[in-house]
Each structure stands twice: as structure tokens, then as C-alpha cells.
A and B are shown apart, each in its own frame.
Chain A
């Protein structure tokens, strides 16, 4: 047998965990029940008024009126111009990757047309995956446009102030055109449920052995930390997949969430995410001295995940420090993946960066767990 990793021992632990999981009906029932319960509870929307949403500008006109308009939009506080794009394609791409929430397009000869009274078009494309995030920003646009140009429409241009709408405002809500909140909440719930149950169940894995006294026996056998930790994680991957499947079924039949993207891709991505949460749980398990601490630890992880991942509050609407924390959490990235795949039809290339960050998190968590795993009873 290998000195550092033995397949036989690894297998022994997996089999044992599977049997124990099967016998523990209550826990197993909870793992299936929690997702369903949460689905029903979160059926309603959570709203807020996020500001400083990232936006890109496609500026095809440099005239003074165009500039006035842009600064008025910026001053509203709802938009933060983070990027200049130079083509339609580029605009679409940054929107699809979630780098920005809006793209504002100012057409060629905007200022000239405006002065002529030709009603130029101002196009706003919004990523409406999360309607709560975009609706207010969109709603202020119309009143904003009329007041913004008032100052310019003085003296010789006063005639423009008379016309009802000098600009033709067009808003394209992309990805979730009817702005159904459930479309956003239900896929997000998949990540939330997995975070809660996966972390908690493995957080108990080692402390339970310690409290029942079986740890002494396990440690007296020639086994290695990696075998124990991985062996305890694998069986719960299956439980995670049961949850994913349940939620997808409910999303489809109960909430009619559109599923544009490749479900196979989503299942593959879920693997990395489930593994990350299990790794976090198992690491908590090595840190905690009893089951209560393990449960507390998993809540300590769950709460920021729930609040800062963009599930509860639109991510872009949070203060920067909260976004920074959120960027570290696997749930944040998984939410983007689920929404991206289901609602936007993202492919692997679109989600690979998010996936990478979840994977890195999983590896770091597991390494900490391996180092913290004590091979003695001291």
C-alpha cells in the first residue's frame, strides 16, 4: 500500500460513510426536505434600491448634448461608467460576462439629430437577470432625460424644450425580459441550499466521530488525513446532486424558469461547487471540538454567503467592501454560473473564470483541512 494514499482505505471510508448516511434517515430526509422548503419560502421577491451599477458606454457621438446627457445619467447615482466599448459586439460581450449591468448606446449624430428635432434614439440594454437590481435604474431614465437637457434648451434652443420627448428612449431588458423575480431567485436558491446543507453535514463528520468515541479507533488504524477527509466528502456529492436535480425540476415545473443553457454544463459546474462546500465543512470539522461548534462554524460561513453573494441583495448594489468579501465566496460565483447558464445560455468559456475561482477556494479549504486534521488525540 502506498505510504501517503491508499485506495483501499479510501474506499473503506467511502463505503462506511455511505452505509451510515443511508441509516441516518432523519438527516437524509432533511437534506431532501430543506431545498423544497426553501423553494417555497423564497418564492417571493426580495427588493431593494441598488445604486452605482456598472455600465458601459458605446459612444458614437461626441457632441455637447451627448456629453451633457451622459453626465446627467452619471449624476443620478444609479450608473457608474466603468468601461468604454467600441462596437455592438463588444457591448454584448461585456454584458454577457456580467462585467457590466448596462450598456448605454449613443448613436451617431445624436447631438445633430437632437437639435434638428429628429428625436434621436438612446438605447439602454440592461442585464435583467436580477430584475430587482435593474428596475429602479431603468425607471429613473425617462424623468432624468427631460430634466437633463433643460439647461441646454435655453435661448436659441428653447424650441426644443417645448417638444414632448426630444429623445426616443429604448430599453432592452435582456435575459429576463418580463422581469420575473422567481427566474432569478429560484436558480439562486440552488446555490444557497447547497451551501447550507453541504457545509453543515460535513462539518459534523469528524466531530461526530470524536464525540461518539469512534475517532480513537479510526486513529489507531494506519490511515492518512487525505483518505479520511476525501472519503467523507465523496458520499455527500451524491446528496448534493439529488438537491440540484430536485431544484431544477421544481424550477421547471413550478416556477417555469427558462433553461436556455446546457444542463450538462450546469451539472458539471455543480460538481466543483459542491466539492468546495464540502471541503469548507470538513475543514470546520477539523477545527471544531464538538458538534455545536461545527454547526456554529457552518452558520458563520453560511450567513455571509447568503447576504453578500448577490442572492439577497443585488451584488452590484452592495458597498465595495461587501463586494470584495462576496468575490471570495463560492456562492457568489456559482450564482453567476447558474443564472448565466440557465437564463443567458452561457457556455463553458463564459463561466470558466467563475469556475476557476470556486475550484481554487475548494483546494485551499481542503489543504487547510488536511493540515488541521490531527492524527493524535492530543
Chain B
């Protein structure tokens, strides 16, 4: 057991029937860290998080969460973890205050009224506390859910796609709050689909089809992919993409707005492949972004699975 690690698990595996949904995932998250968990839909992120807080029994795996055995001590873990589910799962027929009261009681929070009042105030929900949770908009629901998760002062927050369906301003406020809380010592494991959010994490992991493909800081993740990327502008980019795809050396040709990102693992081969088109378009050698890398990883793992 390490004092620095909030989450330290090895070989976490979950099967539903014969399908392996989470496959031998190792994960270490330091205390006070914001850890991003990325991957396409259905890759097993939610399942993994549920195993961490004892909502699903892991078929294999071991380790600790906040120093407690992740398999045997889920009761202890639950007391110190805040889990924000992917889908809003507070009571829609209870008001904001009633929901917070309920959660505070469930965790046996001392000075409940004070805590609930403070929470309502801090989250800017004052004045709306009698409103039914079911009548709130997506952004407000998300705020309420976060407030409820924080009420028992957890040490670790597991947030499952907390910003899905939330407008950009609310998202920005949300991330500011996350960073502030992390600075106060809270640890976060956050799943997301947004690249800008991924870049705001201290470290991240990418999983696809239940397998952990890469992890590290944004820089480490990008570097370890060993990807060369060209950005192309001008001319008929749709036609160009079609012609490039499938050529040796070209792993992917992905449209980004008015530009096309052409990437490959082998720098020389890629240059040869694009040589015939160099004059018709504007080419620029760029540093690959997270998105390029993730698309690359996903395609690769798809190929791996197809090969199996």
C-alpha cells in the first residue's frame, strides 16, 4: 500500500457472460491528481469505475483504493468515495435540498443542516433549493450531482462523463472547480469524450474494447505513439483523403474542419505516399494532437481485434 496512490489496482477484469468488457487493466492514480479516462463508447470505462467502488464484483484483479482492499473492503471505500454516475441518478421527485439532505444522512454527515446549506450556497443553487431535481436542466443537474457527491467530503471522486450534454460555459466552470478541489487535495478519476477536457487532466489513460492502450501525461501519450502528422489545406480534400487511405505508410486521413490530418507511424513511408500530391495542396508538418493519437490507437486496436 502506498500513501501517495489513491488508486492502485492491477489486472482488473470484468466479464459479462463470455464477453470480457474490462481486460486486465492496471491503474495508478496519485493523490491530488486529476486523472482522465478516455475511450470510445462501450469500451468499459463505466464498468471499470463501478468495480472500483464496489458496485460490480471484479472477476479478477486486486489492489487498493484509498488504502482499502478494492475487492474486500468496498464498504469502507464507499464511505470515502464520491461517485457521480453517467446518468443522473438522484431522485427526480425530490427537491434539491431533499436530495442533499438524503445524501448527507446516508453518509452520517455531522452538522447536516449547516453542511447542506453551505453546499447549496457554494454551488449557486440558493433560491432554487425547493425545486424538484427532475425539473432542472442538464447543467443544473450536473451541478447538483457534483454537490451531492461532495457533501460527505470524500477523498476520491469518480466522475463518469460528468460534462456530457452540458453547455461550454458550464463545462468551463465545472473544470475550474475540479482544479480548485484538486489543489485542496482531492483526487479525481474522470471519464470524458472531449479532447479539450483530456488536456486539462494531469495524466490520462486511453482504453478501447476493454484494453488499456496508453497512459501518461498528454505529452507522454503523444510521444509514445510515434506518429508523424501532416496538415493539409486547399483543393479537394475529400478526394485526397479517399486516395490516400489504404496507401502504404498512411495510417489515417482525418478531416478537422477545413483541414485534413494525414498521419502514419513511419515518417519515410508517409513522405513517399504523399509525394505525388504535394503540389496540389498546402502541406504542413505538425505535431500530432491527442485526437490524432487516439484515432490512431483506436484503429490499431480495431485491427488487433479483427485479427483475433
Contacts and interface: CB of A to CB of B under 8 A. Distances in A.
B89 interface: yes
A16 B54 contact: no
A264 B63 CA distance: 58
B55 interface: yes
B296 interface: no
B87 interface: yes
B98 interface: yes
Nearest to A10: B105
19 contacts: A9-B106, A12-B106, A15-B101, A16-B102, A19-B98, A20-B91, A20-B93, A20-B94, A23-B93, A24-B93, A213-B88, A214-B89, A216-B85, A220-B78, A220-B81, A222-B78, A376-B56, A377-B50, A378-B57
A219 interface: yes
A217 B92 contact: no
B79 A220 contact: no
Contacts of B107: 221-222
Interface in A329-377: 375-377
Given A19-B98, A220-B53, A213 B85 contact: yes
Nearest to B112: A8
Interface string A1-29: 10100101101100110011001100000
A222 B56 contact: no
Given A19-B98, A23-B93, A222-B78, A378 B56 contact: yes
Interface of B: 50, 53-57, 75, 78-79, 81, 83, 85, 87-94, 98, 101-103, 105-108
Contact of B108 (A9, A16, A23, A217): A9
Nearest to B50: A377
Interface of A: 1, 3, 6, 8-9, 11-12, 15-16, 19-20, 23-24, 212-217, 219-223, 375-378
A12 B102 contact: yes
B85 A222 contact: no
A33 to B, nearest CB: 21
Contacts of A376: 54-57
A377 B55 contact: yes
Interface residue SS majority, chain A: helix
- Top-7 shortest CB links A-B: A12-B105, A217-B89, A220-B83, A222-B78, A221-B106, A213-B89, A222-B79
Interface residue SS majority, chain B: loop
A333 to B, nearest CB: 36
Given A16-B91, A220-B53, A221-B103, 8 more contacts: A12-B105, A19-B98, A20-B93, A213-B85, A216-B87, A217-B89, A223-B106, A377-B55
Contacts of A3: 75
**Which of B89, B92, B98 has the most chain A CB atoms closer than 10 A to its own CB?**
B89
B105 A217 contact: no
Given A213-B85, A214-B90, A220 B108 contact: no
Nearest to B89: A217
A374 to B, nearest CB: 10
A334 B107 CA distance: 40
Given A222-B106, A222-B107, A217 B94 contact: no
Contacts of B108: 1, 6, 8-9
**Which of A3, A16, A216, A222 has the most chain B CB atoms closer than 10 A to its own CB?**
A222
Contact of B94 (A16, A222, A378): A16
Contact of A212 (B54, B79, B92, B98): B92
A91 B102 CA distance: 58
A78 to B, nearest CB: 56
A207 to B, nearest CB: 15
Contacts of B101: 12, 15
Contacts of A23: 93
A213 B83 CA distance: 14
Contacts of A11: 105
Contacts of A8: 105-106, 108
Contacts of B79: 222
Contacts of B103: 221
A15 B105 contact: yes
A217 B85 contact: yes
Contacts of A16: 91, 94, 98, 102
Contacts of A6: 108
**Which of A9, A24, A214, A221 has the most chain B CB atoms closer than 10 A to its own CB?**
A221
A12 B83 CA distance: 19
Contacts of A12: 101-102, 105-106
A214 B78 contact: no
A214 B105 contact: no
Contacts of A377: 50, 55-56
Contacts of B98: 16, 19
Contacts of A219: 55
Contacts of A215: 89
B83 to A, nearest CB: 4
Contact of B78 (A1, A24, A221, A378): A221
A12 B87 CA distance: 22
Nearest to B76: A222
B89 A216 contact: yes
Given A20-B91, A222-B78, A216 B106 contact: no
B93 A216 contact: no
A378 B78 CA distance: 17
A222 B108 CA distance: 10
A214 B55 contact: no
